[in-house]
Chains A and B, each alone.
Chain A
Amino acid sequence: DADVTQTPRNRITKTGKRIMLECSQTKGHDRMYWYRQDPGLGLQLIYYSFDVKDINKGEISDGYSVSRQAQAKFSLSLESAIPNQTALYFCATSDTRTGLVGELFFGEGSRLTVL
């Protein structure tokens, strides 16, 4: 089983619908992240969480919200999806106990299409 699991893997929805992408991890890491990837633009940070009580906006948080339900769970919501939110979304984790050399561990991605 994957250490970082994202659901759903693929989702097609319509403009205006509410969408939730879920992420769970079994690595025991404290930090969790949501990234968006568009062709030619690389990975952009949406939100990140250093622990359950600490949520921070990333570069492109407008139109998104998150919830850290537990150390192992971090969900991303689109309250009213729009077509330009069509993208590949990645959840990632890292462990601050590794100090300056923290590595990101990514999930398999959730492909979202908004019609």
Chain B
Amino acid sequence: KNQVEQSPQSLIILEGKNCTLQCNYTVSPFSNLRWYKQDTGRGPVSLTIMTFSENTKSNGRYTATLDADTKQSSLHITASQLSDSASYICVVSGMNYGGSQGNLIFGKGTKLSVKP
């Protein structure tokens, strides 16, 4: 069964500290993996996408990694800010046998709280 597991469920850190969020998946065949940021009461917004051949990708203070062999991804946030308080959702896309993008499998998200 295709699944996406995120950890931890929730995390509280102090402003200025770094943190790492984890995403493990069993989706196969794999197409790509996205990290979304969802502010409270708002729709998710894409932060970054990782395809099979990519190991690391940065978007400002956000750095995503992908290990396609172990089917793990992480999102590292550097020098956290109060505005980083949000839920971070990992979404994995499978691939149809025709090569087109298949179903999107959502993780349940990690709720990050950054305290002053």
Chain A residues at the B interface, C-beta cutoff of 8 Å:
4, 40-45, 90, 92, 99-104, 106-109
Are A42 and B109 in contact, with the CB atoms below 8 A?
Answer: yes
A43 touches B89 (CB 8 A): yes
Provide the main secondary structure of the chain A interface: mixed
Q: Is the CB of A104 within 8 A of B104?
A: yes
Find the A residue at minimum CB distance from B43: A106
Tell me how far the C-beta of A1 lies from the nearest C-beta in chain B, rounded to whole angstroms. 15
**Beta-carbon contact of A101 and B104 below 8 Å:** no
Number of interface residues of B (CB under 8 A): 23
Q: Select which of B51, B89, B101 is within 8 A of A102 by beta carbon.
A: B101
Cβ proximity bits B30-41 to A, threshold 8 Å, 1 near / 0 not: 011010100001
Which residues of chain A are near B101, meaning CB under 8 Å?
A: 99-100, 102
Taking the closest CB of chain B, its distance from the CB of A68, in whole angstroms, is 19
CB distance from A12 to the nearest CB of B (A): 16
Is A109 in contact with B89, judged by CB distance below 8 angstroms?
Answer: no
The residue among A4, A44, A45 with the most chain B CB atoms within 10 A of its own CB is A45
Complex partner residue of B51 from A41, A100, A103, A108, CB under 8 angstroms: A100
Task: Say yes or no: is B55 at the interface (Cβ < 8 Å to chain A).
Answer: no
Knowing that A4-B43, A43-B106, A104-B44 are A-B contacts, what are 12 other residue pairs whose CB atoms are under 8 Å apart, sorted by A's residue number? A42-B108, A100-B31, A100-B93, A100-B100, A101-B32, A101-B51, A102-B101, A103-B49, A104-B36, A104-B91, A106-B44, A107-B43
